Amino acid sequence: MKPLVLYRVDLRAGDPASALERLDPAAPLLTGTDLAATRGDGVFETVVLVDGVPQAMEAHLDRFERSASLLELPSPDRVLWRTVVERVAAEMDVSRGAVKYILSRGDEATGEPTGWALGFAPTRHRTGVPPELDVVLLDRGYRSDVATTAPWLLQGAKTLSYAVNMAALREAGRRGASDVIFVSSDGYILEGPNSTVIARIDGEYVTPPVEFGILPGTTQADAFEALREGGDRVAVRALTVSDLSDADALWLCSSTRGAAPVRSLDGVAQHVDHATTERISAFLNARKG
């Protein structure tokens, strides 16, 4: 990913105007002792831009706040971060891009949180047409009650520690797939390494509950809106691995890809519902913010 726009966010500044400093996108940004770099200790969000407009901004800010709270970081100032995203978006000269914004616990030496935001054009999935996915189920190794029994494991927070998620995607590659659905150690469907699951079972579109230690998906929420608008039934409830084999269609939802249909699961071909995928994509691509 090559950033096109880069801003440093001074979290001690009194107002958004003085907090934002535009930098050369290729400029060095962090000190060698920033905890984002040395421990992955921070949180982030990635917002997609459609025709230059940031999508699902409030839902992303809600999740940013939730992640910061789980990590006991200072609560992000919504006005400041909204301004940051809008500023980066305004300076991006691409119709479909993304803005990633980051809050780090900061430099170990000063104990002051640091923030920055970068605008980039995703190298893949620029068109708004989601790819079809070959997916494998992988054990996440935590029970579905991990968020309450072991909150220090930070399941459900969008932290900078994505090394595990990336390792899972490499494992998918070794198994001839391109994506993953994580399963809890007690057999429940969780989420992808960077996506939310939707399964259609008996005509109902189902996504797992965030109480299982997964992220509240902003794209899945808007996909449910599209489905409800079309008269479909949607539900948030637990799904087991065997429920998934009863599903007649599956999607993995994420900001940059949209609702991507699953065309194979653990090597078994899955039915791709093109019409529903297009209906959700049309809704997502027509959002005004």
Residues engaged in binding ligand PLP (CB under 6 A): 46, 191, 193-196, 215, 217-220, 253-255
**How far is Cα 97 from Cα 256, in angstroms, rounded to an integer?**
8
- Which whole-number Å values give the CA distances from 116 to 68, 74, 79, 175, 192, in the listed order? 15, 15, 15, 36, 26
- Which whole-number Å values give the CA distances from 187 to 47, 141, 249, 257, 259, in the listed order? 31, 10, 20, 27, 24
- Residue 20 or 261: the one with the smaller Cβ distance to ligand PLP is 261
Task: Please answer whether residues 195 and 189 qualify as being in contact, where contact means their C-beta atoms are separated by less than 8 angstroms.
Answer: no
- Residue 57 or 92: the one with the smaller Cβ distance to ligand PLP is 57
Task: Please answer whether residues 220 and 183 qualify as being in contact, where contact means their C-beta atoms are separated by less than 8 angstroms.
Answer: no
Can you say whether the dihedral through the CA atoms of 230, 232, 233, 239 is positive or negative? negative
CB of 58 to ligand PLP, least distance (A): 12
- Residue 20 or 227: the one with the smaller Cβ distance to ligand PLP is 227
- Residue 13 or 153: the one with the smaller Cβ distance to ligand PLP is 153
**How far is Cα 160 from Cα 104, in angstroms, rounded to an integer?**
8
- Residue 20 or 81: the one with the smaller Cβ distance to ligand PLP is 81
CB of 215 to ligand PLP, least distance (A): 4
CB of 139 to ligand PLP, least distance (A): 16
Choose among 222, 235, 234: nearest CA to 279.
Answer: 222
- Residue 104 or 194: the one with the smaller Cβ distance to ligand PLP is 194
Task: Please answer whether residues 289 and 53 qualify as being in contact, where contact means their C-beta atoms are separated by less than 8 angstroms.
Answer: yes
Written as one letter, the residue type at 160 is L
CB of 271 to ligand PLP, least distance (A): 23
- Residue 54 or 193: the one with the smaller Cβ distance to ligand PLP is 193
CB of 46 to ligand PLP, least distance (A): 6
Can you say whether the dihedral through the CA atoms of 96, 7, 84, 225 is positive or negative? positive
CB of 27 to ligand PLP, least distance (A): 26
Name the token pair of 238.
């637990």
- Residue 105 or 140: the one with the smaller Cβ distance to ligand PLP is 140
Choose among 243, 156, 166, 241: nearest CA to 196.
Answer: 156
CB of 228 to ligand PLP, least distance (A): 17
CB of 194 to ligand PLP, least distance (A): 4
